[in-house]
Amino acid sequence: LCLAFGRAETLYQAAFFVFGAFLGSGLQWVFSAALLQKAVEDQLLGRVLALDNASMTLTASVSTLLCGWGLVAWGPRIVADLVGITVLVACLAWLGVHAWWRPLDFDSRPQRASLRSR
């Protein structure tokens, strides 16, 4: 969507692509947090989620700084294209790693107690 955003001809097209990108980003963050909650033991869960939140905050800050510098140096279309290419490369790398990664077996872990089981 970032590649399409860089080529948008109208403000409405650009807004549509930005909305789609943020929708995907939000879904990814929710899914990753849910998977962390399933994969991490209860004693470490708060620390791991805090580290996840801190890393997202740091990444957002650094990317905002780099995009701002790029906007001044090169202009918005080139920066949008570079961001799109970066996201595309990261997605392809993740797909490549995911093809060889052994999935976690959540069913083999002991089940957590819930209020419904009482």
Instruction: Give the per-residue pLDDT at 106.
Output: 63
Model pLDDT, residue 13:
93
DSSP strand E in 1-118: where? none
Q: What is the mean pLDDT of residues 70-99?
A: 90
Q: Please state the rounded mean pLDDT for residues 26-55.
A: 91
| Residue 56 in this model has a pLDDT that exceeds 80 | yes
Number of Cα atoms under 13 Å in the Cβ half of residue 98: 6
State the pTM of this model. 0.71
Q: How far is CA 118 from the centre of its chain?
A: 36
Share the mean pLDDT of the chain: 86
